[in-house]
Structures are given as structure tokens and as C-alpha cells.
Amino acid sequence: MTAWSSIRRTMPCLLNFTTFCNTTTTTNFLFPTPPLSNLSPSFLSTQPSSHLSVFLSSSSRSSTLRFFSSSKLSGGMGDRAVSSLDNLQMSDKISYLTQKDAAEIDEILMGPLGFSVDQLMELAGLSVAASIAEVYRSNDYGRVLALCGPGNNGGDGLVAARHLYHFGYKPFVCYPKRTPKPLYAGLVTQLESLEIPFLSVEDLPQDLSKDFDIIVDAMFGFSFHGKPRPPFDGVIQRLVSLHSHAQAQSRRISPVIVSVDIPSGWHVEEGDLDGQGIKPDMLVSLTAPKLCAKKFCGPHHFLGGRFVPPSIVKKYKLNLPPYPGTSMCVRIGKPPSVDISALRENYLSPEFLEDQVLPDPIDQFRRWFDDAVAAGLREPNAMALSTADKGGKLSSRMVLLKGVDEHGFVWYTNYESQKARELSENPRASLLFYWNELNRQVRIEGTVQKVSEEESEQYFHSRPRGSQIGAIVSKQSTVVPGRHVLHEEYKALEAKFSDGKLIPKPENWGGYRLKPTVVEFWQGQQSRLHDRLQYSLIEIEGKQAWHIVRLAP
């Protein structure tokens, strides 16, 4: 078996089934949207690393949380989403490898290119774990059974199990034919030191559906030929029967099957020859998908193994999707269509209690805002602003918070826009912040006034010159005949102000300040028993004071 054969393997589906050829072939690929995470004190043990990890900080104030963002955030959630869009639009062609090419690439990587098996296995296993964490959250899919074969594919499975443990999953390993080499012995030792249970085939329940949420099929990789032998033939049959059980009960919930590079038992180029093989829910192709991946019809096809050097790409004319941000995996093929009614999150958060909140909602807001910043959230200052005209007709849009103090919440805009017209008719508005990764929402209601001209001037000139020109160009909320009109005007103004002189603030541009009368802090909790603490301004003995109540979720 070629060195790190297990590291790559794939199979997409549903794409245009172009004719096979015995060199690399191509098909369309599309990209995913990122799943997001929840926050909880139990994150320490339950969250995949690709999600936000939260640690209660002993050194800081008691309710303060320290956040450590991982790849999904620091790698740029924005990058990922934009990359998804780019790739959707590119509708590019992805390459598929023959068995021979896959083996050759391995040899080149581990020969002239200087990689070791250990390195490639580590990257493969990490890619598999990262792909799993992208789709199956540890909150819902915590128990993972890694079925590991004797070769490199099995090694990938062992590495993936280790990473999954650190991502917050609870792995179990079935590794019936251990390979007596230091690399594999080391992996076993690492897993044992984490107290990951090793199960024999005999220990495995006949029906795997009750005890596991995810089954990682890491039995055979791309150098596999022929028919699986015992005990793997029996194990494969159990995976096949899982699928039949689920079909019989018209459901497909768990466990899900994640195949590493090749669904075990499939022909590496032709796929599931008799149609009686494993039908994985997820396939993680490694390096580049193998031809059999074209027959994959599950909902999640990912590519991992982010190390392919340009020389290999060139030699094999590989056309592979770009990896977003710092991610170790990327979705190939269409994201699955979702049943909107079934989209559901179970929020896990620390308790949010009356005795933890600050007496003033602005202070409390700042505290939560700081948490959002510390968590590395993108544009934590983005908020929905809702306004209504004098007839009560409502409208909402996003704006950016540009200041908050005891006087209220400030944003800037065009004073002739729709929102401005509505605010002139009805100076009441509401603001809404939603920090998904923290399971937090803040609702604010109040009255609105323009900020002083001086304040607007000051802020206007603090903006990048491009934004200043943009504000002059945009007659916000009016009809524009075409994008070119904006560009032309922008260019003209850019030329006009190219000498660096002061760009005057347009008169119709400035800030608004909402003075809050009601502020509600919401934190998601399990079983929809969310926390809602609402501050409202009341008068006590002629003085205004904030009154805090808990609202039913």
C-alpha cells in the first residue's frame, strides 16, 4: 500500500457526470456556508475548535468571558463566505485523480518533495476532523466511532480521532489490525493517553445506531484493491445496514458516516460497483478527489490536505478549489438543500442572572460589546435599525454603531435617505444587535435626534477619503440609472480631491443618536429557556431610574 494512500480520497455526486477518462477529469464544484457555534461554559469540553471557544476567566471580572477564536473566526468567517460566493460564481471544474495518479503524487510528495508519511497523515487527519466540525457540531453529534484500517487510511482515522477529541467530541476507536510500526504505535499511545476507548470488533454493538452519532470510515484508502477481508467485510456490512435501517424508517439522522478519501469497499475509480456498498453522508477527499468521488451522492463532500505544491498542481493539471482563510478543508459540490423548518440550534450559554448585570444598561451593553470584540466577531457594531413613518409603516436596515455613551447610541447616514425621512416624521426607532457566536441579542428602543454638526464633521473627516467621497456620491435611497453613474461621479471627485485637500462634509450627511428608554439583553439557553433581562426607564420620586425585569423567553 502506498505510503499515505489514506490521506486523500473523495467522491462528489450530483454534479454533471462527465465521462471518465484515465487521467484527471473535472466536474463542477460549489461551496458552503459556514456553520456557527454556540457559547457555553461547557465549551471547554464540547465545542469543536473550528467554533468559538470560551473560557471563564478567573483573573477578570466574574461575568467576563475570555474568548479564543479559532480558524473559523480568525481565518475569517468573512473570507470563507466570500470565497464561497466566488466559487459559486466561478462554477469551475474540479479535477479527479485516477488510482495511478494518486499513487504517483504520493510518491513525489514523499520523495523529491521531502514530505514524510507522518506529516501527510497528520494533515489528512486534521482535515478530516476539521471537515466533520464544519458540518456536525459536537453538541449534537458528540460520540464518534473511528473505524481504522491497517494502512494509511487507518492512520488518518487515528489522527482525526485525536483532533476530534481536542475539538470537544468523544471519540471511540476500533482498530482491529494494528500496524506494528512506530508511527502507528505512537498514534495509539497518544489516543490512549487521552483515555479514548479502543473497542474490538466483538465489542461493537451489532446495531451501531444507538451508541454513536458519527462513524468515521477510515478502513481503506486509494491503494485498496479487491474485496475487503475479515473483519472489515463484516464492519462494512454493518455500515451498509445502518443505511437500510434508516431507509426502512424513512429517516437519516444518526449516526452519519464520514468516509476518509474513499468509502471503504468502493472501487477507487468506479465507485460502488454493485450499489450495495457504504453510502456515506460525508466524504473527505484528500489532496484531490479520486474518480470514485464522482459517484458520491451524499450531502457533504469536502476536500482536505492543504499542502499540494504548485509543481504537483502543474504536473497533474489539477484544478482544485481554493481553501478559504486559514481553513484546512473546503466544501466541494453543491451544499445540500436544507429544510428551513428543520434548522434549529440548541443554545448553550452560561447563566445570565439578575445579580450579574450592571445597574446601567449602557455599562452592560459595553460589557457585552467588549465580549463580542474579544471574540473576534466581524463587525460587532453592525445593528439593525428600525424606523417607522408617520403612518406607522415600518422599515429596517443595517447600520454601524459609531459611538455609545450615557447619551445614547450613534450612527451616521444620509439625512435625505428613507430612514432619515422616517425619523423626521417619527423620531422613535429601535436598534438590534445579534452576536450569533455568543448566543446574544440586544434590543434597544428609544428616541432619536441628530448629533451636533460638529460631531458629524469630526467623524466625517476621520473616515477614509474613499468613504468621504462615497458619501458625497451617494444620494442615498434614490434611484440610480446604473452602477457606472456612481463610478463616474466617484472618479471625478477623486480627481478633484487628488491633491489631498480637505473633502467637505456634505450637508445632508451626519449622525443620529438614539437615547434608550428600553434595553433588553437576551442570551440563548437550552430548550428555549433563554435569558431575557429588560431595562426600562421609570420615574421614581421625580428621578429617572432603570428598572430591570426578567421576561419569559
Ligand X SMILES: Cc1cc2nc3c(=O)[nH]c(=O)nc-3n(C[C@H](O)[C@H](O)[C@H](O)COP(=O)(O)O)c2cc1C
Catalytic positions, written as ranges: 528
Among 386, 449, 477, 517, binds ligand X (CB under 6 A): 477
Closest approach, Cβ 418 to ligand X, in A, equals 4
Cβ 477 to ligand X, closest distance in Å?
Answer: 4
Rounded Cα gap, residues 283 and 40, in angstroms:
30
For CA atoms 212, 331, 42, 553, the dihedral sign is negative
Closer CB to ligand X, residue 243 or residue 475? Answer: 475
Q: Is-contact 37 185, C-beta < 8 A?
A: no
Selected range binding ligand X among 89-97, 267-275, 323-331, 411-419, rule: CB under 6 A: 411-419
CA distances, 453 to each of 299, 380, 447 (Å): 55, 26, 19
Counting contacts by CB under 6 A, is residue 400 touching ligand X? Answer: yes
Q: Which member of 64, 74, 89, 395 binds ligand X (CB under 6 A)?
A: 395
Task: Examine residue 34 and say whether the peptide bond preceding it is cis (omega within 30 degrees of 0).
Answer: no
Q: According to the binding rule CB under 6 A, does residue 418 interact with ligand X?
A: yes
> Using the rule CB under 6 A, is 398 a contact of ligand X?
yes
Burial class (CB in 10 A: 0-12, 13-18, 19+), 83: buried
Using CB under 6 A as the binding rule, whether residue 536 contacts ligand X is answered as no
- The backbone torsions φ and ψ at residue 312, rounded to the nearest 5 degrees and listed phi first, read -70, -40
Which distant-in-sequence residues (6+ apart) come within 8 Å of 539 by Cβ?
A: 545
Q: Name the one range near ligand X by CB under 6 A: 119-127, 406-414, 435-443, 519-527.
A: 406-414
Residues with Cβ < 8 Å from 280, sequence gap 6 or more? 217, 257, 258, 259, 263, 296, 298
Residues in the chain, overall count: 553
Q: Which of 27, 50, 63, 413 contacts ligand X by CB under 6 A?
A: 413
Cα torsion at 245, 140, 338, 333 (round to 10°)?
Answer: -90
Residue tagged 454534479 (cell numbers): 15
d(CA 527, CA 548): 24
Shortest CA distance to 63 belongs to which of 363, 403, 345? 363
Least separation in angstroms between residue 70's CB and ligand X is: 23
Contact 526, 347 (CB under 8 A): yes
Residue 81 CB, shortest distance to ligand X, in Å, is 13
CB 268 within 8 A of CB 230: no
The residue from 81, 90, 382, 537 that contacts ligand X (CB under 6 A) is 382
Task: Using CB under 6 A, pick the residue from 50, 264, 417, 430 that binds ligand X.
Answer: 417
Are 550 and 533 a contacting pair, CB within 8 Å?
yes
Q: Are 182 and 155 in contact (CB under 8 A)?
A: no
**Do the Cβ atoms of 222 and 1 come closer than 8 Å?**
no
- Report if residue 399 touches ligand X, rule: CB under 6 A: yes
Nearer residue to ligand X within complex by CB, 477 or 536? 477
By CB under 6 A, tell whether 411 contacts ligand X.
yes
Say whether residue 476 binds ligand X (CB under 6 A).
yes
Residue 505: which residues within 8 A CB-CB, separation 6 or more? Answer: 456, 457, 460, 461, 468, 471
Taking the C-alpha atoms of residue 25 and residue 11, their distance in angstroms, rounded to an integer, is 12
Binding-site residues sit at 152-156, 217, 221-227, 261, 264
Range 174-183 burial, b when 16+ CB lie within 10 A, else e: bbbeebeeee
Q: Which stretch binds ligand X (CB under 6 A): 127-135, 245-253, 410-418, 518-526?
A: 410-418
- Least distance in angstroms from the C-beta of 377 to ligand X: 12
Parallel, antiparallel, or unpaired for β 214-218 and 256-260? parallel
Q: Is 419 in the site for ligand X (CB under 6 A)?
A: yes
Site for ligand X in 4-63 (CB under 6 A): none
CB 255 within 8 A of CB 297: no
- In the complex, what is the shortest distance from the CB of residue 308 to ligand X, in angstroms, rounded to a whole number? 36
Find the binding residues for ligand X in span 121-150 (CB under 6 A).
Answer: none
Q: How far is the CB of 373 from ligand X (least distance, A)?
A: 16
| Residue 196 or 431 having the CB closest to ligand X | 431
> Site size for ligand X, by CB under 6 A?
16
**Binding site listing for K(+):** 153, 217, 264
Q: What is the CA radius of gyration of the chain?
A: 28
Nine-digit cell string for 359: 445597574
Cβ atoms of 515 and 523 within 8 Å: the answer is: no
Choices 282-290, 345-353, 369-377, 416-424 (CB under 6 A): range interacting with ligand X: 416-424
Which positions lie near ligand X, rule CB under 6 A?
379, 382, 395, 397-400, 411-414, 417-419, 476-477
